[in-house]
Amino acid sequence: MNQMCVATYRSYDEKADFDKKALSIAVGLTVGSWTELPEARKAEMEKHLGKVLSVDVHEPACGERYADIRIAYPDINFSRDIPALLVTIFGKLSMDGKIKLIDLDVSEEFQSAFPGPKFGLEGVRQLLGVHDRPLLMSIFKSVVGHDLPNLQEQFYKQALGGVDLIKDDEILFENPLTPLEKRVEVCMEAARKAQQETGQKLLYAVNLTGPTSQLANQARKAIAAGANALLFNVLSYGYDVLHELSKDPEINVPIAAHPALAGAFYPSPHYGIGASVLLGKLMRLAGADLVLFPSPYGSVVMPKEENLAVKDALLAPSSTLRTSFPVPSAGIHPGLVPLILRDFGTDVVVNAGGGIHGHPMGTAAGGQAFRSAITAAMNGVPLREAAAQPGNEALQAAIDAWGSKE
Protein backbone atom coordinates (compact mmCIF):
# COMPACT_ATOMS: atom_id res chain seq x y z
CA MET A 1 0.00 0.00 0.00
CA ASN A 2 1.19 3.51 -0.85
CA GLN A 3 2.58 5.63 1.95
CA MET A 4 0.65 8.91 2.15
CA CYS A 5 0.88 12.33 3.78
CA VAL A 6 -2.42 13.74 5.00
CA ALA A 7 -3.28 17.46 4.79
CA THR A 8 -6.27 19.05 6.50
CA TYR A 9 -7.75 22.25 5.08
CA ARG A 10 -10.38 24.65 6.30
CA SER A 11 -12.31 26.02 3.32
CA TYR A 12 -14.84 28.85 3.61
CA ASP A 13 -17.66 29.24 1.09
CA GLU A 14 -21.32 30.12 1.50
CA LYS A 15 -22.56 28.06 -1.45
CA ALA A 16 -19.91 25.55 -2.50
CA ASP A 17 -20.47 21.82 -2.79
CA PHE A 18 -17.58 20.92 -0.47
CA ASP A 19 -17.53 17.25 -1.51
CA LYS A 20 -17.03 18.32 -5.10
CA LYS A 21 -14.40 20.86 -4.06
CA ALA A 22 -12.50 18.25 -2.05
CA LEU A 23 -12.43 15.89 -5.01
CA SER A 24 -11.19 18.66 -7.30
CA ILE A 25 -8.34 19.37 -4.87
CA ALA A 26 -7.38 15.71 -4.55
CA VAL A 27 -7.34 15.23 -8.31
CA GLY A 28 -6.00 18.66 -9.27
CA LEU A 29 -2.97 18.50 -6.99
CA THR A 30 -2.04 14.99 -8.09
CA VAL A 31 -2.99 13.50 -11.48
CA GLY A 32 -4.59 16.73 -12.76
CA SER A 33 -7.54 15.05 -14.46
CA TRP A 34 -9.47 11.86 -13.86
CA THR A 35 -12.84 11.63 -15.55
CA GLU A 36 -11.35 12.11 -19.02
CA LEU A 37 -8.77 9.36 -18.62
CA PRO A 38 -9.40 6.03 -20.37
CA GLU A 39 -9.93 3.09 -18.01
CA ALA A 40 -6.57 1.51 -18.79
CA ARG A 41 -4.82 4.77 -17.98
CA LYS A 42 -6.80 5.11 -14.72
CA ALA A 43 -5.47 1.79 -13.51
CA GLU A 44 -1.93 2.97 -14.20
CA MET A 45 -2.45 6.36 -12.49
CA GLU A 46 -4.36 5.11 -9.46
CA LYS A 47 -1.26 4.99 -7.26
CA HIS A 48 -0.66 8.70 -7.90
CA LEU A 49 -4.22 9.87 -7.20
CA GLY A 50 -5.00 11.94 -4.10
CA LYS A 51 -7.70 10.49 -1.84
CA VAL A 52 -10.45 12.44 -0.06
CA LEU A 53 -10.56 11.03 3.47
CA SER A 54 -13.28 13.22 4.97
CA VAL A 55 -15.34 16.37 4.47
CA ASP A 56 -16.78 17.84 7.65
CA VAL A 57 -19.17 20.71 6.85
CA HIS A 58 -20.04 23.36 9.46
CA GLU A 59 -22.95 25.74 9.01
CA PRO A 60 -23.04 27.88 12.18
CA ALA A 61 -26.06 30.04 12.92
CA CYS A 62 -23.67 32.96 13.31
CA GLY A 63 -20.56 33.12 11.21
CA GLU A 64 -19.30 31.75 7.92
CA ARG A 65 -20.05 28.36 6.43
CA TYR A 66 -16.92 26.21 6.16
CA ALA A 67 -15.67 22.65 5.81
CA ASP A 68 -12.66 20.81 7.17
CA ILE A 69 -11.33 18.68 4.33
CA ARG A 70 -8.77 15.87 4.80
CA ILE A 71 -6.88 14.67 1.74
CA ALA A 72 -4.15 12.03 1.47
CA TYR A 73 -1.31 12.53 -1.03
CA PRO A 74 0.78 9.56 -2.19
CA ASP A 75 4.45 9.88 -1.24
CA ILE A 76 5.33 8.55 -4.68
CA ASN A 77 4.36 11.95 -6.12
CA PHE A 78 7.07 14.02 -4.42
CA SER A 79 10.65 13.80 -3.27
CA ARG A 80 11.35 13.49 0.44
CA ASP A 81 11.92 17.13 1.23
CA ILE A 82 9.69 19.76 2.83
CA PRO A 83 9.62 22.15 -0.17
CA ALA A 84 8.31 19.37 -2.43
CA LEU A 85 5.69 18.42 0.16
CA LEU A 86 4.47 22.00 0.64
CA VAL A 87 4.27 22.72 -3.08
CA THR A 88 2.28 19.52 -3.59
CA ILE A 89 -0.26 19.99 -0.82
CA PHE A 90 -0.61 23.76 -0.76
CA GLY A 91 1.31 25.37 -3.61
CA LYS A 92 -1.29 26.67 -6.05
CA LEU A 93 -4.12 25.74 -3.68
CA SER A 94 -2.99 28.50 -1.28
CA MET A 95 -4.14 31.03 -3.90
CA ASP A 96 -7.56 29.46 -4.47
CA GLY A 97 -9.92 31.57 -2.34
CA LYS A 98 -10.53 31.27 1.39
CA ILE A 99 -8.64 28.12 2.29
CA LYS A 100 -6.12 27.48 5.06
CA LEU A 101 -3.82 24.51 5.75
CA ILE A 102 -4.64 23.71 9.38
CA ASP A 103 -2.96 20.33 9.92
CA LEU A 104 -0.45 18.00 8.35
CA ASP A 105 0.58 14.44 9.13
CA VAL A 106 3.50 13.01 7.20
CA SER A 107 3.97 9.31 6.55
CA GLU A 108 6.55 7.17 8.33
CA GLU A 109 8.40 6.86 5.03
CA PHE A 110 8.58 10.63 4.54
CA GLN A 111 9.56 11.26 8.16
CA SER A 112 12.36 8.72 7.91
CA ALA A 113 14.29 11.19 5.75
CA PHE A 114 14.50 13.63 8.67
CA PRO A 115 16.60 13.02 11.77
CA GLY A 116 14.81 15.93 13.46
CA PRO A 117 16.35 17.87 16.36
CA LYS A 118 19.96 16.88 16.99
CA PHE A 119 19.72 17.69 20.71
CA GLY A 120 16.04 18.32 21.36
CA LEU A 121 14.61 19.15 24.74
CA GLU A 122 16.51 16.54 26.71
CA GLY A 123 19.77 17.27 24.93
CA VAL A 124 19.57 20.98 25.74
CA ARG A 125 18.86 20.14 29.37
CA GLN A 126 21.84 17.78 29.37
CA LEU A 127 24.17 20.48 28.03
CA LEU A 128 23.06 22.86 30.78
CA GLY A 129 22.79 20.29 33.55
CA VAL A 130 19.27 21.50 34.38
CA HIS A 131 16.57 18.81 34.52
CA ASP A 132 14.06 19.86 37.15
CA ARG A 133 12.75 23.31 36.19
CA PRO A 134 11.87 25.52 33.22
CA LEU A 135 14.83 27.16 31.53
CA LEU A 136 15.26 30.93 31.42
CA MET A 137 16.36 32.77 28.28
CA SER A 138 17.18 36.44 27.80
CA ILE A 139 17.54 38.49 24.63
CA PHE A 140 20.02 41.17 23.65
CA LYS A 141 18.21 44.55 23.69
CA SER A 142 19.32 46.57 21.87
CA VAL A 143 21.96 45.48 19.38
CA VAL A 144 21.95 47.67 16.28
CA GLY A 145 24.76 50.25 16.36
CA HIS A 146 26.45 48.82 19.47
CA ASP A 147 30.12 47.83 19.44
CA LEU A 148 31.76 44.75 20.95
CA PRO A 149 32.47 46.22 24.42
CA ASN A 150 28.81 47.29 24.72
CA LEU A 151 27.52 43.85 23.74
CA GLN A 152 29.98 42.13 26.06
CA GLU A 153 28.88 44.26 29.00
CA GLN A 154 25.21 43.63 28.21
CA PHE A 155 25.88 39.89 27.92
CA TYR A 156 27.70 39.81 31.25
CA LYS A 157 24.86 41.56 33.08
CA GLN A 158 22.33 39.11 31.65
CA ALA A 159 24.47 36.14 32.62
CA LEU A 160 24.83 37.38 36.19
CA GLY A 161 21.04 37.22 36.54
CA GLY A 162 21.06 33.43 36.36
CA VAL A 163 19.72 32.89 32.85
CA ASP A 164 20.36 29.58 31.11
CA LEU A 165 20.40 30.90 27.56
CA ILE A 166 21.12 34.25 25.93
CA LYS A 167 20.17 34.82 22.32
CA ASP A 168 21.03 37.48 19.79
CA ASP A 169 18.20 39.62 18.56
CA GLU A 170 17.00 38.27 15.20
CA ILE A 171 17.78 41.63 13.56
CA LEU A 172 21.48 41.43 14.42
CA PHE A 173 23.18 40.68 11.11
CA GLU A 174 26.83 40.57 10.07
CA ASN A 175 28.24 44.07 10.45
CA PRO A 176 31.60 45.83 10.99
CA LEU A 177 30.88 46.71 14.64
CA THR A 178 30.07 43.19 15.86
CA PRO A 179 31.31 40.60 13.34
CA LEU A 180 30.21 37.04 14.07
CA GLU A 181 33.47 35.48 15.25
CA LYS A 182 34.51 38.47 17.36
CA ARG A 183 31.02 38.67 18.86
CA VAL A 184 31.16 35.02 19.84
CA GLU A 185 34.60 35.40 21.38
CA VAL A 186 33.77 38.39 23.60
CA CYS A 187 30.37 37.03 24.65
CA MET A 188 31.71 33.60 25.55
CA GLU A 189 34.45 35.33 27.53
CA ALA A 190 31.69 37.15 29.44
CA ALA A 191 29.88 33.83 29.90
CA ARG A 192 32.96 32.25 31.48
CA LYS A 193 33.45 35.26 33.75
CA ALA A 194 29.82 35.11 34.90
CA GLN A 195 29.99 31.35 35.45
CA GLN A 196 32.83 31.86 37.92
CA GLU A 197 30.41 33.95 39.98
CA THR A 198 27.14 32.05 39.45
CA GLY A 199 28.43 28.51 38.98
CA GLN A 200 25.91 28.16 36.15
CA LYS A 201 26.41 26.94 32.58
CA LEU A 202 25.01 29.04 29.77
CA LEU A 203 24.22 28.68 26.06
CA TYR A 204 24.70 31.63 23.71
CA ALA A 205 22.52 31.39 20.57
CA VAL A 206 24.34 33.54 18.03
CA ASN A 207 22.30 34.72 15.04
CA LEU A 208 23.24 32.84 11.87
CA THR A 209 22.85 35.13 8.84
CA GLY A 210 24.17 35.84 5.35
CA PRO A 211 23.68 34.33 1.88
CA THR A 212 22.15 30.86 2.01
CA SER A 213 25.17 29.32 0.29
CA GLN A 214 27.41 30.56 3.12
CA LEU A 215 25.29 29.63 6.14
CA ALA A 216 26.91 26.28 6.92
CA ASN A 217 30.31 27.92 6.64
CA GLN A 218 29.21 30.72 8.95
CA ALA A 219 27.93 28.18 11.46
CA ARG A 220 31.24 26.32 11.46
CA LYS A 221 33.14 29.58 11.95
CA ALA A 222 30.90 30.51 14.87
CA ILE A 223 31.38 27.09 16.49
CA ALA A 224 35.15 27.28 15.97
CA ALA A 225 35.08 30.64 17.76
CA GLY A 226 33.30 29.04 20.73
CA ALA A 227 29.57 29.33 19.94
CA ASN A 228 27.53 26.70 21.78
CA ALA A 229 24.14 27.41 20.15
CA LEU A 230 22.71 29.08 17.04
CA LEU A 231 19.67 31.26 16.35
CA PHE A 232 18.13 30.93 12.89
CA ASN A 233 15.36 32.84 11.08
CA VAL A 234 13.89 29.71 9.54
CA LEU A 235 10.95 31.13 7.60
CA SER A 236 13.03 33.69 5.72
CA TYR A 237 15.45 30.97 4.53
CA GLY A 238 13.17 27.92 4.39
CA TYR A 239 12.69 24.69 6.30
CA ASP A 240 15.06 22.81 4.00
CA VAL A 241 17.92 25.11 4.99
CA LEU A 242 17.26 24.35 8.66
CA HIS A 243 17.18 20.65 7.82
CA GLU A 244 20.56 20.86 6.06
CA LEU A 245 22.11 22.76 8.98
CA SER A 246 20.66 20.47 11.61
CA LYS A 247 21.83 17.23 10.00
CA ASP A 248 25.36 18.56 9.30
CA PRO A 249 27.67 16.58 11.63
CA GLU A 250 30.01 19.55 11.97
CA ILE A 251 27.22 21.81 13.25
CA ASN A 252 27.11 20.12 16.64
CA VAL A 253 25.25 22.73 18.72
CA PRO A 254 21.52 23.29 19.38
CA ILE A 255 19.58 25.45 16.91
CA ALA A 256 16.88 27.82 18.11
CA ALA A 257 14.28 28.64 15.44
CA HIS A 258 13.01 32.23 15.41
CA PRO A 259 9.42 32.85 14.12
CA ALA A 260 10.18 36.02 12.11
CA LEU A 261 7.72 36.25 9.15
CA ALA A 262 5.29 33.82 10.80
CA GLY A 263 2.67 36.56 10.97
CA ALA A 264 2.47 36.49 7.19
CA PHE A 265 1.24 32.88 7.39
CA TYR A 266 -0.81 31.93 10.45
CA PRO A 267 -3.05 34.72 11.89
CA SER A 268 -5.83 34.82 9.29
CA PRO A 269 -8.68 32.32 9.77
CA HIS A 270 -9.14 32.20 5.98
CA TYR A 271 -5.63 32.02 4.52
CA GLY A 272 -2.14 30.71 5.19
CA ILE A 273 -0.84 27.88 7.35
CA GLY A 274 -1.95 27.06 10.89
CA ALA A 275 0.53 27.87 13.66
CA SER A 276 0.76 24.26 14.86
CA VAL A 277 1.99 23.22 11.40
CA LEU A 278 4.11 26.29 10.67
CA LEU A 279 5.83 26.66 14.04
CA GLY A 280 5.23 23.21 15.47
CA LYS A 281 5.31 20.15 13.25
CA LEU A 282 7.49 21.49 10.43
CA MET A 283 10.03 23.18 12.72
CA ARG A 284 10.50 19.96 14.66
CA LEU A 285 10.67 17.83 11.51
CA ALA A 286 13.30 20.16 10.02
CA GLY A 287 15.45 19.90 13.14
CA ALA A 288 14.86 22.85 15.49
CA ASP A 289 15.98 22.08 19.04
CA LEU A 290 14.15 25.09 20.44
CA VAL A 291 11.25 26.94 18.79
CA LEU A 292 10.27 30.51 19.62
CA PHE A 293 6.66 31.57 19.02
CA PRO A 294 4.36 34.35 20.27
CA SER A 295 3.01 33.80 23.76
CA PRO A 296 -0.69 34.08 24.63
CA TYR A 297 0.09 36.63 27.34
CA GLY A 298 2.38 39.33 26.05
CA SER A 299 2.79 41.99 23.41
CA VAL A 300 2.65 39.83 20.25
CA VAL A 301 -0.35 37.68 21.06
CA MET A 302 -1.25 34.32 19.53
CA PRO A 303 -4.64 32.89 20.57
CA LYS A 304 -4.11 30.41 23.39
CA GLU A 305 -5.73 27.51 21.52
CA GLU A 306 -3.22 27.89 18.68
CA ASN A 307 -0.41 28.54 21.13
CA LEU A 308 -0.96 25.32 23.02
CA ALA A 309 -1.35 23.43 19.73
CA VAL A 310 2.18 24.56 18.80
CA LYS A 311 3.44 23.33 22.18
CA ASP A 312 1.67 19.98 21.71
CA ALA A 313 3.19 19.56 18.24
CA LEU A 314 6.69 20.16 19.61
CA LEU A 315 6.24 17.75 22.53
CA ALA A 316 4.08 15.01 20.96
CA PRO A 317 5.45 11.48 21.43
CA SER A 318 7.39 10.17 18.44
CA SER A 319 9.34 6.99 17.86
CA THR A 320 11.86 8.78 15.62
CA LEU A 321 11.94 12.51 16.45
CA ARG A 322 13.26 14.13 19.62
CA THR A 323 10.99 16.72 21.18
CA SER A 324 11.72 20.43 20.66
CA PHE A 325 11.76 22.95 23.49
CA PRO A 326 8.75 25.33 23.33
CA VAL A 327 9.74 28.98 23.86
CA PRO A 328 6.66 31.25 24.19
CA SER A 329 7.93 34.80 23.75
CA ALA A 330 7.16 38.52 23.62
CA GLY A 331 6.00 40.71 26.48
CA ILE A 332 6.99 38.24 29.20
CA HIS A 333 7.66 39.57 32.72
CA PRO A 334 8.13 37.72 36.05
CA GLY A 335 4.48 38.18 37.04
CA LEU A 336 3.45 35.92 34.14
CA VAL A 337 5.56 32.94 35.21
CA PRO A 338 2.71 31.15 37.07
CA LEU A 339 0.56 31.34 33.91
CA ILE A 340 3.39 29.96 31.77
CA LEU A 341 3.92 27.02 34.10
CA ARG A 342 0.17 26.39 34.34
CA ASP A 343 -0.21 26.24 30.55
CA PHE A 344 3.14 24.74 29.51
CA GLY A 345 4.34 22.75 32.51
CA THR A 346 8.03 22.68 33.35
CA ASP A 347 9.25 21.66 29.88
CA VAL A 348 9.31 25.24 28.64
CA VAL A 349 11.81 28.06 28.15
CA VAL A 350 10.73 31.31 29.77
CA ASN A 351 12.02 33.95 27.35
CA ALA A 352 12.30 37.67 28.14
CA GLY A 353 13.78 40.82 26.69
CA GLY A 354 12.28 43.93 28.22
CA GLY A 355 11.20 41.92 31.27
CA ILE A 356 14.89 41.50 32.11
CA HIS A 357 16.53 44.65 30.72
CA GLY A 358 13.72 46.93 31.86
CA HIS A 359 13.86 45.80 35.50
CA PRO A 360 13.98 48.82 37.85
CA MET A 361 17.07 47.43 39.60
CA GLY A 362 18.95 46.61 36.40
CA THR A 363 19.53 43.72 34.01
CA ALA A 364 21.03 41.24 36.47
CA ALA A 365 18.14 41.83 38.87
CA GLY A 366 15.74 41.15 36.00
CA GLY A 367 17.10 37.64 35.62
CA GLN A 368 17.10 37.10 39.37
CA ALA A 369 13.44 38.14 39.54
CA PHE A 370 12.53 35.52 36.96
CA ARG A 371 14.48 32.81 38.77
CA SER A 372 12.69 33.70 42.02
CA ALA A 373 9.33 33.64 40.22
CA ILE A 374 10.09 30.21 38.72
CA THR A 375 11.06 28.79 42.11
CA ALA A 376 7.96 30.21 43.77
CA ALA A 377 5.60 28.99 41.04
CA MET A 378 7.06 25.49 41.09
CA ASN A 379 6.58 25.34 44.87
CA GLY A 380 3.02 26.67 44.70
CA VAL A 381 3.91 29.89 46.52
CA PRO A 382 2.01 33.02 45.36
CA LEU A 383 4.44 35.50 43.83
CA ARG A 384 3.47 38.37 46.12
CA GLU A 385 4.09 36.13 49.13
CA ALA A 386 7.44 35.01 47.73
CA ALA A 387 8.42 38.60 46.90
CA ALA A 388 7.93 39.63 50.54
CA GLN A 389 10.56 37.15 51.71
CA PRO A 390 14.12 38.41 52.44
CA GLY A 391 16.42 38.15 49.44
CA ASN A 392 13.61 38.48 46.90
CA GLU A 393 13.79 42.24 46.48
CA ALA A 394 14.26 41.85 42.73
CA LEU A 395 10.99 39.94 42.42
CA GLN A 396 9.20 42.55 44.53
CA ALA A 397 10.47 45.33 42.28
CA ALA A 398 9.30 43.42 39.19
CA ILE A 399 5.82 42.94 40.63
CA ASP A 400 5.67 46.60 41.61
CA ALA A 401 6.56 47.50 38.02
CA TRP A 402 4.43 45.02 36.06
CA GLY A 403 2.08 43.28 38.47
CA SER A 404 1.46 39.54 38.72
CA LYS A 405 -1.13 37.17 37.28
CA GLU A 406 -1.89 33.92 39.06
Nearest-angstrom CA–CA distance, 159 and 161: 5
Nearest-angstrom CA–CA distance, 315 and 346: 12
Q: How far is CA 323 from CA 275, 281, 315, in A?
A: 17, 10, 5
Q: Is 167 considered catalytic here?
A: no
In terms of phi and psi (left: phi > 0; alpha: psi -120 to 50; beta: otherwise), the region of 376 is alpha
**Within a 10 A sphere around the Cβ of 111, how many other Cβ atoms?**
19
Amino acid at 159: A
Task: Calculate the CA 382 to chain-centre distance.
Answer: 30
Report the candidate in 220, 211, 235 with the shortest Cα–Cα distance to residue 82.
Answer: 235
Reported for 340-347, long-range contacts at CB under 8 A and 24+ positions apart, including other chains, are 340/134, 340/295, 340/297, 341/134, 341/374, 341/377, 341/378, 343/296, 343/304, 343/307, 343/308, 343/311, 344/134, 344/311, 346/132, 346/133, 346/134, 346/378, 347/121, 347/134, 347/315, 347/323
Catalytic residue among 92, 100, 118, 182: 92
Q: Catalytic site residues? A: 92
